[in-house]
Amino acid sequence: MIKAVRGTRDLLPPDTALWNFVESAVRGVFRTYNFQEIRTPIFESTELFARGVGEETDVVSKEMYTWFDNRGPRQEFDEALPKVGRAAARMIKGSGTDEDRPEVARPASTMEGRGDSLTLRPENTAGVVRAYIEHKLWDRGLNKLYYIGPQFRRERPQKGRYRQFYQIGAEVIGPASAGSESPARDAEVLEMLATLLDRLGITGWNLELNSVGCPSDRAKFNEALRLALQPVVGKMCTDCQRRAVTNPLRVFDCKVPEDQPIIETLPRISQFLDEPCRTHFEAVKGILKSVGVEFRENDRLVRGLDYYTRTAFEFTHGALGAQNAILGGGRYDGLSEALGGPAAPGIGFAIGEDRLVMSLKETAEGVLRKPDVYVAPLGAGMNSEAARLARELRRHDLVVDLGDETFRLKKSFEAATKAGAKYILIVGENEVKADAFALKNLESGQQVSIPRAELARKIQAAG
């Protein structure tokens, strides 16, 4: 049997109804904050992520699905097919087993004879900023964009962590003259998130907030970290030993329990913020307090991607277990320039939709709309009559399930009950002649004969 690839999954009904509920609720909230949708490709040049997200991050150095795209896909497929196993896994990068980790994606977008290096997007901020630059979106002033779609990371799968997962994200980006740098934008985005979670009925979330400063603060911070790490780094994991040399700030991404007491003793970015960054952070917090959005300062929070400046945040939720970050985001004032664009301060976030749906599950019942009525044709020739009736009822926005004339009455009742329908409507020869139909309430067992013209109103009235 061919199964879904490890770390990917099928989303099936009734869960898909929850996903749709979430997506339409967030679209509604985005609309009231004047955000508009952007759709970017799900694969991009590898270089975009290497330059945008940062080569030292776990995402870029370990987790990207990257391949070279020089030959026709058919030829590559034909060659790979007979060699299923390690050799083929190595050819098609990223499809190997856990021991057979793919090579680190290199920033060079083209290697001699191997064509373009492409990558399935592991996140969407870099793609949105690329589109901002490519389409000169600064002409529109402040851009408030949102997206909903799949992302791909080759992480070890576990509850709440997948290799294909879905993000609902938003980015506010534009020239500083359009107000993109203002702390008012940070606070507005955070307040929108609080509204969004409340609207979905998610309670018990915590907003963790920090400022990671600007590049000059970080240079000083990295230097201080390097010094502080020197005497202790030998006792830390190999990843931290590498980070201590290349990008010490990334030591805060470490999840190894034995390293945590050492990390606790390290300097914090909050000690290195310059005056403008400090003032910006105070202003964000001030607005949040005045609009009543609660937060907790966490000066260990540095986020796993290199582009962040100033405000950085995560919303966590207790019910999620180890993977408790329901969403994360922050400011990225230098990203556009790092990608060759003009100065364009920005701030955004991405919600892990898989995790959001997980935290909603308990309250899910009300979201699922069961059929209002099951239309049961009874006897030969009744399919067309039943189809006509179903069409009329659906025009009244009723949810209608339709049976088949070959079903005996008992089977129709079973199907209607299984679908969770409120009513069953019998369409037999006598009913058609009388133009009045037997409507039975499946819960109370009460059955009445209702003229065709009154059917929709009667079913709607049951609410």
Smaller CB separation from ligand HAM, 315 or 423: 315
CA-to-CA separations, 315 to 203, 208, 298, 320, 328, in angstroms, rounded: 12, 6, 12, 12, 6
| Structure tokens given for 100 | 């057979």
Contact call for residue 42 and ligand HAM (CB under 6 A) = no
Size of the site for ligand HAM (CB under 6 A): 27
Rounded to a whole number of angstroms, the minimum distance from the CB of residue 456 to ligand HAM is: 43
Among 21, 147, 205, 349, binds ligand HAM (CB under 6 A): 349
Compute the distance between CA of residue 76 and CA of residue 221 in angstroms, rounded to an integer: 47
Among 19, 65, 165, 313, binds ligand HAM (CB under 6 A): 165
Contact call for residue 167 and ligand HAM (CB under 6 A) = yes
Q: Which stretch binds ligand HAM (CB under 6 A): 251-259, 271-279, 342-350, 420-428?
A: 342-350
Would you say 349 and 170 are in contact if contact means Cβ atoms under 8 Å apart?
yes
Contact call for residue 328 and ligand HAM (CB under 6 A) = yes
Rounded to a whole number of angstroms, the minimum distance from the CB of residue 206 to ligand HAM is: 13
> Does an H or E element contain 170, and which?
strand 164-173
Contact call for residue 326 and ligand HAM (CB under 6 A) = yes
Residue type at position 231 = P
Contact call for residue 155 and ligand HAM (CB under 6 A) = yes
Among 149, 179, 304, 420, binds ligand HAM (CB under 6 A): 304
Closest CA to 199 of 321, 36, 367: 367
> Does an H or E element contain 275, and which?
helix 275-291
Compute the distance between CA of residue 165 and CA of residue 155 in angstroms, rounded to an integer: 11
Contact call for residue 334 and ligand HAM (CB under 6 A) = no
Contact call for residue 354 and ligand HAM (CB under 6 A) = yes
| Structure tokens given for 412 | 């129709």
Closest CA to 26 of 284, 204, 205, 201: 201
Would you say 339 and 133 are in contact if contact means Cβ atoms under 8 Å apart?
yes
- Taking the CB of residue 195, how many other CB atoms lie within 10 A of it? 15
Q: Which stretch binds ligand HAM (CB under 6 A): 23-31, 75-83, 155-163, 252-260?
A: 155-163
Would you say 67 and 145 are in contact if contact means Cβ atoms under 8 Å apart?
no
Contact call for residue 94 and ligand HAM (CB under 6 A) = no
Count of all residues that appear for the chain in the document: 463
Place of tokens 């993109």: 180
Contact call for residue 330 and ligand HAM (CB under 6 A) = yes
Residue nearest to ligand HAM (CB): 352
Contact call for residue 54 and ligand HAM (CB under 6 A) = no
The contact pattern for ligand HAM, residues 110-129, with x = CB under 6 A and - = no contact, is -------------xxx----
Contact set with ligand HAM (CB under 6 A): 123-125, 153, 155, 160-162, 165, 167, 169, 171, 304-305, 325-330, 332, 348-350, 352, 354-355
